[in-house]
Structure 1
Amino acid sequence: MDWLILFLSGVIGGVLNSIAGGGSFITFPALLFAGVPPIAANATNTFASCAGYISGAYALRHEIQSGTQQLKLVVGLCVIGGGIGAFLLLHTPEALFTQSVPWLLLFAALLFTFGGTLNKWLKKVTAKHKHATSAGAFFSAVLLLIVCVYGGYFNAGLGIVTLSYLALAGYTNINVMNGIKLLVSACASLAAIVFFVVNGSIDWPSGMAVLFGTLVGGYYSAKVSRRIPQQYVRTTVIIASFLITAYFFYAN
């Protein structure tokens, strides 16, 4: 029964990720409700989400290549940041991480809700500043590293955090931004997964159930996306994310 529930949560998460984002608000709590310990649930959710990042980045590979002239540097920073985040997670006491889960979910929920507004504001702020100086380039690199540390530590909300970083870095083409977002998410997640595998932190049966569900949901979401307005789906995700966050605050 748990396998079926996790598979269905993956299907829903895959559909949400394809239409409006926020699939981790379904898959991560589902893993917890299935009895997977919090740190293992987070590691497993990162594993289950990574296939979508990789396939999406491959689909937008031309946009990625046209959007950055320092691809090796970006990939390197993402791998280092994701590895650091995973290392920090694995050295966080289970009880402390359990207490932090509601706050991490709240942070991700707020980012998902107000991320669009934040990105618009950042684009206005950076419209006249392209960070061409050495100091600006260094700041941008450090910021990307921090984003990937977050992604390696807690995968939920990584897409919104990355888009905010890209807006601050001066990107304006949404297709390029989505491509780089997926590349960043894939590299940071893959680096984190290596640590999780070595540490034995991934619940493989649960992770495969969510992964297969995510692939099915993502595949069929094209038809769904034509029938359901994105704003309706987004509103539903926002409501669900805050309800789930409230539940975890109550449970703690």
Structure 2
Amino acid sequence: MTWLEMLGVLGAGLAAGVLTSTVGVASLVSFPVLLAVGLPPVVANASNTVGLVPAGISGSYGYRAELREHPRIAWTVVVTCAVGAVAGATLLLALPSSVFEAVAPWLILFTCLLVGVQPWVARWLRSRGGEDLGQRTRMGPVTTSFALLTGVYGGYFGAGSGVMMVAVLGLGLDIDLRVVNALKTLAIFAGNVVASVVFILVADLDWRAVVLLGAGSVVGGHVGARVGRRLPPTLFRALVVVAGVVAAVLLLR
């Protein structure tokens, strides 16, 4: 890896950290850069996951006030995504990457649709349930199950997992999008930590790429949290949809 390539990976880590704490499509930037500097796909995927852990640390810390608003949900998100990530990381090592690469763009596009229509769906559910529906501030079985599946996807492939988590939490809970964004960042962090343990133990990693990504992403995650907590809900939702569509289109090429 040349000095110019190392600077490119460092810059990709910075950008990926910002995206982790905002729209949740960090791998859209970092994974292609690792491929471009010559890493094999599976090595790049595993190294990318480990290198983005610092972004989750700084991003979650930046959202600490939002995470304290619903601690029960935060812990549920951590557990479900951690358990799912173990299964996802195991699948990555056992199955060819083409398995999820084929379906990933369509999953992302579908979740973009869900994020976009979430306000109308929430109002429809409220009109159907009336006053008996109440404020949904705890994760029910359906929401928890989909959060677990999102953790599996994040541990295996990762691209667009933040968009998926925004859709899952936005549809399953009646909480501010600002808090959903914080929980999404925490979910990515939890999944990356657990998957990273698996990868460190059994996968091939490019540690130079990991260190460079980590150095850039820890700064980007903090910057992204400062930006993300100030985004108006409508703008945040629009940015998530646009980022998800871009990610899906790039994966389809």
Where on the TM-score scale, by shorter chain, does this alignment land: which range? 0.7 to 0.9
CA–CA distance in structure 2, aligned partners of residues 235 and 118 of structure 1: 10
RMSD over equivalenced CA pairs, Å: 3.6
SS in 2 for 1:155: coil
Conserved? CA contact 2:115–2:170, under 8 Å: no
CA–CA distance in structure 2, aligned partners of residues 187 and 241 of structure 1: 22
Conserved? CA contact 1:20–1:230, under 8 Å: yes
Matched, 1:211 2:214: yes
Indicate how the Cα distance of structure 1 residues 175 and 122 shifts in structure 2: closer, same or farther if over 3 A, else same: same
CA–CA distance in structure 2, aligned partners of residues 239 and 163 of structure 1: 14
Letter in 2 for 1:28: F
2:122 aligned partner: 123
Listed as ranges, the matches of 1:100-179 within 5 Å are 100-101=100-101, 103-105=103-105, 107-108=107-108, 110=109, 114=113, 116-127=115-126, 128=129, 129=133, 137-179=140-182
Conserved? CA contact 1:22–1:112, under 8 Å: no
Indicate how the Cα distance of structure 1 residues 200 and 174 shifts in structure 2: closer, same or farther if over 3 A, else same: same
1:14 aligned partner: 17
Indicate how the Cα distance of structure 1 residues 169 and 244 shifts in structure 2: closer, same or farther if over 3 A, else same: closer
Indicate how the Cα distance of structure 1 residues 18 and 146 shifts in structure 2: closer, same or farther if over 3 A, else same: closer
CA–CA distance in structure 2, aligned partners of residues 102 and 17 of structure 1: 23
CA–CA distance in structure 2, aligned partners of residues 75 and 232 of structure 1: 26
SS in 2 for 1:69: helix
Per-residue CA shift, 1:145-192, capped at 9, x if unaligned?
112111111222111111111122223312221222122221121111
Matched, 1:56 2:59: yes
Per-residue CA shift, 1:3-47, capped at 9, x if unaligned?
222122223333444554433211111111222121221122212
Shift of 1:214: 2.6
Conserved? CA contact 2:20–2:224, under 8 Å: no
CA–CA distance in structure 1, aligned partners of residues 208 and 110 of structure 2: 30
Per-residue CA shift, 1:48-97, capped at 9, x if unaligned?
222222222222233223224365444322221111111111111xxx31
Indicate how the Cα distance of structure 1 residues 23 and 139 shifts in structure 2: closer, same or farther if over 3 A, else same: closer
Indicate how the Cα distance of structure 1 residues 35 and 125 shifts in structure 2: closer, same or farther if over 3 A, else same: farther
Letter in 2 for 1:174: L
Conserved? CA contact 1:24–1:45, under 8 Å: yes
Indicate how the Cα distance of structure 1 residues 44 and 118 shifts in structure 2: closer, same or farther if over 3 A, else same: farther
Conserved? CA contact 2:14–2:220, under 8 Å: yes
CA–CA distance in structure 1, aligned partners of residues 38 and 121 of structure 2: 40
Count how many residue pairs are aligned between Structure 1 and Structure 2.
Answer: 239
1:86 aligned partner: 89
Q: Which residues of structure 1 form unaligned runs of 5+?
A: 248-252
Matched, 1:25 2:28: yes
1:250 aligned partner: none
SS in 2 for 1:201: coil
Conserved? CA contact 1:126–1:170, under 8 Å: no
Indicate how the Cα distance of structure 1 residues 62 and 49 shifts in structure 2: closer, same or farther if over 3 A, else same: same
TM-score, scaled to structure 1: 0.76
